[in-house]
Amino acid sequence: MLHKLGRRRRLRRGEAIAWAGEESLDCANVLSGILKVSALTSDGREQIVGLLYPSDFVGQPFIGISDFTVTALGDTEICVFPKVNFENFLSTQNEMTQALLRRTFGTLNDARRRMLLLGRQSAAERIADFLLQMLDRTGGCSASAGGPVTFDLPLSRGAIADVLGLTIETVSRQMTKLKAAGVIALPGGRTVTIVRRGALRQMADAG
């Protein structure tokens, strides 16, 4: 029944589905692509506070004003539900409401885990953990089972720096060190190849 309420919508890179401080009219599920969740700091800089991947939920039912801006990082497809209709549906579907709450709490726990890790990880550990998360989310492409895996980063190095609480220079330096150590390869652009996943995991878990 829920699928009857939704409609597919394609977003181009930079197109927003929600704006911080404005009334939220829609909820959505991410079908493909990646969305970034961001806010403006007091000095007007964008701070990325999270990323949304396929199967993640967008929007805040029963809340009028959006706290964050949600923007497509690249070509993205979502299934959009008018918020009023979605709220009415939830009010009659206890199982769906519980499922949404579980997903919301899961997202909250992920955010808390990220804050905890950022507080105790070194720059090298943050980069290693981030690359592993991106690999898990994107799947990547490998020529053989257990071999090197290649994927495209959805964020620029500047955006990665924002997410991880680092400077662009630090992100670039750490990526170069990983390349020099033979842990990753950087074929060009935003493409990354994980050459030694076990070594990257050890670095991420060192903290």
| Predicted confidence (pLDDT) per residue in 86-137, tens digit | 667 666 666 666 666 666 655 655 655 555 555 567 889 989 988 998 888 8
Q: Are strands 191-194 and 149-152 parallel, antiparallel or unpaired?
A: antiparallel
pLDDT band at 164 (very low <50, low <70, confident <90, very high): confident
pLDDT score at 77: 95
How is domain 2-118 classified at the CATH fold level? Jelly Rolls (2.60.120)
pTM over 0.75: no
Q: Give the Cα separation of 1 and 6 in Å (integer).
A: 10
CATH of domain 122-204: 1.10.10.10
| Predicted confidence (pLDDT) per residue in 2-17, tens digit | 556 778 999 998 899 8
**Amino acid identity for residue 186 in this structure:** L
Instruction: Say how far residue 102 (Cα) sits from the centre of its chain.
Output: 18
Quickly list DSSP for 52-82.
Answer: E-TT-EES-TT-SB-SSEEEESSSEEEEEEE
pLDDT score at 170: 95
Q: State the sign of the Cα–Cα–Cα–Cα dihedral 151, 55, 65, 67.
A: negative
Task: Please state, as a whole number, how many other Cβ atoms lie within 10 Å of the Cβ of residue 154.
Answer: 19
Range with the largest mean pLDDT of 61-65, 103-107, 179-183: 179-183
pLDDT band at 155 (very low <50, low <70, confident <90, very high): confident
H/E stretch holding 175:
helix 168-180
Domain ranges of the chain: 2-118, 122-204
